[in-house]
Structure 1
């Protein structure tokens, strides 16, 4: 344990109607007392947000691992993985049971995010098949800039 483990870290509270304001304030006060930055959002907001920024990345990581492992030259491919592949698939080593339950429990929001992702992937596939380097670079630049901007948050 570290005394500063939660300092500056985000904690999300999703109060329900049956939670009294006093109980919610007590929980919020606890997390603030250990240095956490507390945000309150509804359960619906939580499910929509985390389907995109947590659940989808886990699904994609599992999917990439499954794609490589199921290929006929899986051993050859896996013997050549580098840091990028390991970074991207690190979360595929997490609990399959937990992520099964999360995907099924948040099915509606997860499916919405998967559909959006598939639109982007299909667009990228089209750009590659049409040899559209300018289109790919534009898409990559937008994504790269957005990712770089995360480091300032």
Structure 2
């Protein structure tokens, strides 16, 4: 049982964390803080938080756990603001989609107290934003990756892990570097592609006609382009090197497939499509079987 949890950013991710803890009876008090008063007021109205913090000093008094659920570029400034009021027994974690930049920001802001920061990343979400999007069951059966630091005490890592488990999540561990390489490929690049496709279609002179006939395939492929532009701007820039490497590899694949199409090489195109179909089926079967990855991929470290 956590006595007091402070959530900075009470939208989809932070709000769902609060609701998950409350559903499990794992917290006595949740305090919300945010940049937008209307959002924190709405979170209070919905019962996501029990009170709204008017200052970090008041909010952090007696806190067991603080969750940063804000765009990753804000990590450093937020931690700097927290530091003067951060009690020795309080652990801070985050929900950022990049980790190397977050760890660097934490080291710069917290210095010799960086041991109180345990980085994390819940692998769950939606294209919806704000407190009204929060769901108590958002993390049920979903992975949360903890990228613990050498300075972290095991009991502090376990406090963070236990909170996420209370929300229904499954805990995995990766290094910050491995985390950013993995998610550049399977999360950050897909978001970039979805945004690029919708922006390209919207810029065409006959965009209205195109959108009129866009159906479920277009909708499914571009769903994630409905996510927060601010958040994904920060993620793209924070993981720039790994994302550029993945983008270059994808451009090479597109160039190869363009050549197949130009040459009317149907067998080569079909081979690419078949391989992709096979890989996707294996991935879906692995998910349905409760496995973390497809049989052809290395197993990530799991501490459950």
Normalising by structure 1, what TM-score?
0.93
> 1:129-144, aligned counterparts within 5 Å?
129-144=262-277
> 1:3-152, aligned counterparts within 5 Å?
3=23, 5=137, 6-152=139-285
Q: Segments of 4+ in structure 1 off by > 6 A?
A: none
In 1, Cα distance between equivalents of 2:174 and 2:153: 15
How far is the alpha carbon of 1:75 from its aligned partner?
1.4
What root-mean-square deviation, in Å, do the aligned CA atoms of Structure 1 and Structure 2 show?
1.5
How far is the alpha carbon of 1:8 from its aligned partner?
2.2
User: Which sections of structure 1, spanning at least 5 residues, go unmatched?
Assistant: none
How far is the alpha carbon of 1:37 from its aligned partner?
1.3
How far is the alpha carbon of 1:19 from its aligned partner?
1.8
Larger radius of gyration: 2
Return the structure number with greater helix share. 1
1:61-118, Cα deviation, whole Å (9 max, x unpaired): 0010011111122111111101000111111111111100000001011101101111
Return the structure number with greater strand share. 2
In 1, Cα distance between equivalents of 2:165 and 2:213: 45
Aligned residues: 153
In 2, Cα distance between equivalents of 1:9 and 1:72: 41
User: Which sections of structure 2, spanning at least 5 residues, go unmatched?
Assistant: 1-18, 24-135, 287-304
In 1, Cα distance between equivalents of 2:198 and 2:152: 41
